[in-house]
A and B are shown apart, each in its own frame.
Chain A
Amino acid sequence: MSDTIVPVTTKKDWTSDQEVRWCPGCGDYGILLAVQQLMPELGIAPENTVFISGIGCSSRFPYYMNTYGMHGIHGRAPAIATGLAVARPDLDVWVITGDGDGLSIGGNHLIHALRRNVNLTILLFNNRIYGLTKGQYSPTSEIGKVTKSTPFGSVDPPFNPLSVALGAEASFVARTHDLDRKHMMDIFRQAHAHRGSSFVEIFQNCNVFNDGAFDDVTSRQVREEMMIDLRDGQPIRFGAGGHKGVVMGTDGQLRIVEVADVGEDAILVHDAHRDDPGLAFALARLSHDDHSATTFGVFRDVDRPDYGMAVGRQLAETSSKKGPGDLATLLRSNGTWAVV
C-alpha cells in the first residue's frame, strides 16, 4: 500500500479464475475486457481495488475480477460502496450497476452517492431491458416497448441516465458504448482519475432480449455520422471530416447544423470543467431517441470535495483538538458522584 512503488501488473493479474457466464455475444464481455485491459495501466494493485455490484446480468462483473469484490443485493451497491469508501479512502472502489439496478430499485442510493460525491467509479451498463429476469421493460426502455410485462407496449416514459446523474450534482459524467474498447478505456481512465463520484453510462447490447438497441448509433457502419464525441476544449463536430456541428441558438436550444452553413466559429466549444451543469445537461439530451445523432464522451468533470475525505478530515480535526478518545473520561462526561 506504499505510495512510492507503482505496482506492475498485467491483465492476467486482474482476471479471476471464474468462468464468465454471460450469454455468448453479450455486450458485457467487451466491457469486462476493456476494464481488465485498462487496470494495469492505472498503476494500482488488485488488493487495493474493490468491485461492488447489485443484482442483474452486469452485476456478475465482480466475480470475474481478481480483486476484492462483493456481489450485493438489488440496487444497493452505491450504499454498500459508500460505507466501504468512507471507511477506507485508501481503496479504489468501483460500482457496477445496470439500468434496472441503478435507476429503478436503487435510484435513491445512486443519486445520493452522486450528491455526496463519494469517491466511486460507477459504471452503469444500460441495455434498456431487464435481462436476468428474462425480458421486462426497464426505466430506460422507450415508450411503446413491447416486452413480456408490456405486451401492448410500455406507457412509461424513460429516464435519461445522464440527466439523472447531472441532476444529482454528479461531478463527473460520461457516456461510452460496448463496441469501442479504446473509447471505453479512455473514458474509464478519466473516470478513475477523477476524485469523487464518477458516473459512466455504457450503451450495452443485450443480444438476447433487446438486440440492436443502439445499432442505429453505435454500429461501425453508421458511427461516424451518428456519434458526437465530445472533446474537452474542442469545437463539437462530427460526421465525415467534421462536417456537422452543434450550435446554441439565440433561444438557448442546442441544434445540429452543417458547419458549412454557419461557419466554424459558430460551433460550440466543449468545456467539461464548466461549473454550471446546464450545458452538459443539454448536451446529454441532444438526442431524444436511439435513431438520431447522440453525444458521447465526458460531459462534466469538475472538482468537488470527496465525501470520504471530508468525513476523515472531521475525525482528524476532532482528534487533534480533543486528543485521542479516552473511555474513562467519556463515562464521566455527564457528571458523577461518589458513594462511599
Chain B
Amino acid sequence: MTDTVERSAGREPETITRVVVRFAGDSGDGMQLTGDRFTSVSAAFGNDLSTLPEYPAEIRAPAGTVNGVSSFQVQISDHDITTPGDAPSVLIAMNPAALKADLNRLEPHGLLIVNSDAFTERDLAKAGYASNPLADESLAGYRVVEVPMTSLTQKATEPLGVKPRDAERSKNFFALGLVSWLYSRPTEPTLEWISTRFKDDLVRVSNATAFTAGFNFGETTEQFEHRFVVLPAKLPPGEYTNISGNVALAWGLVAAGQLAKLPIFLGSYPITPASDILHELSKHKHFGVRTVQAEDEIAAVGMALGAAFAGHLGVTTTSGPGVALKSETTSLAVSLELPLLIIDVQRGGPSTGLPTKTEAADLNIAIYGRHGEAPLPVIAAYSPANCFDAAIEAARIALKYRTPVILLSDGYIANGSEPWLLPDVASLPDISVPFATEMNHTNDDGTTEFWPYLRDPETLARPWAIPGTPHLMHRVGGLEKEDGRGDINYTPENHQRMVDLRAAKIAGIAYDIPPAVAVGDVDDADVCILGWGSTWAAIDAAVQRTRRRGLKVAWVHLTHVNPLPPNLGEVLKKYPRVIVPELNLGQMCRIVRANYLIDAKAVTKVQGLPFTARELEDAIEGALQ
C-alpha cells in the first residue's frame, strides 16, 4: 500500500495528524460516491475517520443551482476521533454553486480546489454570482487552486473514444485522483473498485483513466506547494470495517433475530432517511428475515404487530412523520403487551421539514406521543457503529418485557460512517425468551386455565403464547383487560390497576440497564454535560479539548432515555452546573429538570446539522462564566 507514496518520493509528503476534506458539487456530479471512495480507502489505510454526507431533498434539483448542491465531508486522522470535523481544511468545489453553498464552511486560509471549467457565465449566473469569484478578490482569504478538471478529463479519455459529453461524467474521478495524490492515498484499491463496480466497458475505463489522470496531474503540476500524509491511527487491535448507522442498525436487527432465535419480520414504508434499513434487510432473507413494503406507515407497524403476535420479532422502520402515523398501533402494542421494535431515524421537522437533514426533536413523541397512559422504553443510538448494539439492546428489552420499544437514530449517524472494531459474534448476549406452552392458572376445583395477563412477578411481563400452541387459545385486544385473566373489564379498580401495572413494568426496566456513569473530571468538575444520542461525537471532542485547556468538565451520556438510569439524578446533583446539548429546543433538559429539580441548562441547535465541537466548547466555556 506504500507503493504510491514511494513513487512520488521526489516530493516527500508532509506528515499531518488529521485533515477534514469536503467534496462539493452538483447532485449529478457523484460527490457522495467520491467521498465514499476516499473514505473507504482511508479506512483501509488505517486512519480513524468520521463522515458527514449532505444532499438535497430533491432527487434532481435544477442542475448548477445552490439548491442542487450535494456534499460529502470526511475527517481522517491518525488518532481516535468521533466527529467529521468542524471546518474543512480543504474544499473541492466542482462548480460555482458548490463554492457558493460551502465556502463559508472552509477554515480561514483553507485550501480551495475548484473545477475552473465550470465557472462559465451561465453557471455563475445559475449559482447567483454577479461576477466570477475566481477573477475578483472575494477568495483572497483562501489558497485557491484552479484546475480545469472537465477539459483535462476529456483530454485524457479522448484516445479511448469517449465522447466529451460522456467524459464529463468521469470528472469526479479526476477530482478523487487529485485528492488521493494530495493526501498520499494508495491508488490500487480505488482502481480495483472501479474495475468491479462499472459494468459498461467504456464507463469503466473512462473512470479509471480520469482517476489516474487526476493523480498524475497532482504529481506533475507545480500548483500544490505540499503533499500530505495522514498516518494510520493507533486504534485498538482487531478487525475493522467501515460502517454507516443504517447498515449497522440493519445488521443489529439481523443479529438480534439470531440471538433471540426468532425470525425477523420487517414492515416498512419508504421514508428518508430510514429507507436504507429496509433495503439492507431485504438482502438478508437467508437469515430468516421477512420484509414487506407496506401500503403505508400504519400498515407497516400493523404488520409488524401481527407478526409479533405470531411469534416473530416484529420491526418497523421510519422517521418522524411515520412515528406520528404509527402512534395508534404503538398504543395498541402497549395494551397488548407484545414485543415490537419501532425504529425512528430522526430528521428535521415538523411535517416534511428537512427530510435529508438531521435533528433529534422526536424525543418527546417517542416518550410521550401516544394516547392514554402508554409508557414504553426508548433507546437512542449514539454513533454509526453503536446502532448495531442499540438494535440488539432494543430487541432484548422488547422481548423480555413484551413491550414496544422505540429506538432513535438520526440522519447524521444513519448516513455517517466510522471504523468499527468487529465484535466477537460468540460474545454477543443470548436474548431469547421462552414462549408459553402450559396452562398457568389452577382454579379451586383443580381445573387449569391459561391466563394471558398473568405476569412474571419480577419483570411484570405477561406470557407470550403464540398461535399454534394447543390449549392456550386466547383473545387479546385494545379494550381494557382484567388483570390476570385478560377478559374485557371496564371496572374502575381494574383499570387503575392495569394502568399502574403497565407503568410499573416500564419503570422497572430502569434496574435492568447500565447505571449513569460520569467520565472526565468526575470528582471536581465545574460543569457536567448530559448528552444523549448522536451529540456524543461533538461532546467527546469538546470535552477533550476543554479539559486539555484545564477546564474541569464531566460528561454523562445516555443511551437509555426512557426509563432513565435510576442513579442519574444523584450523579447530576454532584455538579454545580449541568448543560444538556440537544438538536432540538431542550426536550431532554426539561425532563431532567422536572425529574430531579436541578437547574440544567439546554444548549440547543436546530439547523439540520450536528453540533460542531467548537460550538460545544463555547457552550462549556459559557456555562463556566
Contacts and interface: CB of A to CB of B under 8 A. Distances in A.
Interface core residue of B286, B294, B314, B476 (most chain A CB under 10 Å)? B286
Given A327-B255, A327-B258, A71 B302 contact: no
B473 A82 contact: no
Contacts of A334: 241-243, 247
Interface residues of A, number: 61
A330 B254 contact: yes
Given A70-B477, A315-B286, A331 B241 contact: yes
Contacts of A312: 290
Interface in A93-131: 108-109, 112
B238 interface: yes
A87 B477 contact: no
Nearest to A333: B241
A52 B52 CA distance: 45
Contacts of B263: 87
Interface in B268-303: 284-290, 292, 294-296, 298-299, 302-303
A66 B302 CA distance: 23
Contact of A80 (B302, B421, B470): B302
A338 B251 CA distance: 20
Interface of B: 40, 43-44, 46, 232, 235-243, 247, 251, 254-255, 258, 263, 265, 267, 284-290, 292, 294-296, 298-299, 302-312, 314, 328-329, 332, 336, 421-423, 425, 428, 467-479, 487-488
Contacts of A274: none
Contact of A332 (B44, B239, B258, B475): B239
Contacts of B235: 339
B299 A79 contact: yes
A46 interface: yes
Interface core residue of A73, A311, A328 (most chain B CB under 10 Å)? A73
Contacts of B308: 83
A337 B470 contact: no
Contacts of B46: 337, 339
Contacts of A80: 302-303, 305-306, 309
A190 to B, nearest CB: 24
B175 to A, nearest CB: 23
B292 A314 contact: no
Contact of A66 (B232, B303, B473): B473
Interface in A155-183: none
Interface stretch (A33-41, A251-259, A318-326): A318-326
A318 B289 CA distance: 11
Interface core residue of B40, B237, B240, B473 (most chain A CB under 10 Å)? B473
B306 to A, nearest CB: 3
A71 B285 CA distance: 31
A84 interface: yes
Interface in A35-74: 45-50, 52, 55, 62-63, 65-73
Given A83-B304, A335-B44, A323 B467 contact: no
B265 A87 contact: yes
Contacts of B467: 47-50, 68, 84, 88, 91
A324 B286 contact: yes
A90 B296 CA distance: 26
Question: Which secondary structure characterizes the binding site on chain B?
Answer: mixed
B1 to A, nearest CB: 10
A337 B44 contact: yes
Contact of A315 (B255, B288, B329, B425): B288
A69 B40 CA distance: 51
Contact of B328 (A46, A73, A84): A73
A76 interface: yes
B307 A62 contact: no
A65 to B, nearest CB: 8
A109 B476 CA distance: 21
Given A87-B310, A319-B286, 4 more contacts: A65-B475, A68-B309, A82-B299, A335-B44
A322 B286 contact: yes
Contact of A68 (B238, B240, B242, B474): B474
Given A47-B468, A71-B478, A330-B284, A339 B236 contact: yes
A16 B478 contact: no
Nearest to A74: B328
A337 B473 CA distance: 52
A76 B329 contact: yes
Nearest to B239: A336
A337 B241 CA distance: 7
B409 to A, nearest CB: 19
19 contacts: A18-B487, A66-B473, A71-B478, A76-B329, A82-B302, A82-B306, A84-B467, A86-B292, A86-B303, A86-B307, A109-B295, A323-B286, A325-B254, A325-B258, A330-B254, A330-B287, A332-B422, A336-B241, A337-B241
Contact of A335 (B241, B254, B329, B332): B241
A118 B512 CA distance: 40
A55 B329 CA distance: 13
Contact of B468 (A1, A66, A69, A323): A1
A78 to B, nearest CB: 8
A287 B327 CA distance: 41
The 9 A-B residue pairs whose C-beta atoms are closest, nearest first, are A71-B477, A83-B306, A325-B287, A79-B302, A83-B303, A79-B299, A84-B306, A112-B295, A80-B306
B303 A82 contact: yes
A73 B478 contact: yes
A340 interface: yes
Contact of B288 (A79, A88, A325): A325
Given A63-B488, A87-B311, A335-B40, A69 B238 contact: no
Contact of B292 (A49, A311, A315, A339): A311
Contacts of A340: 237
A95 B20 CA distance: 57
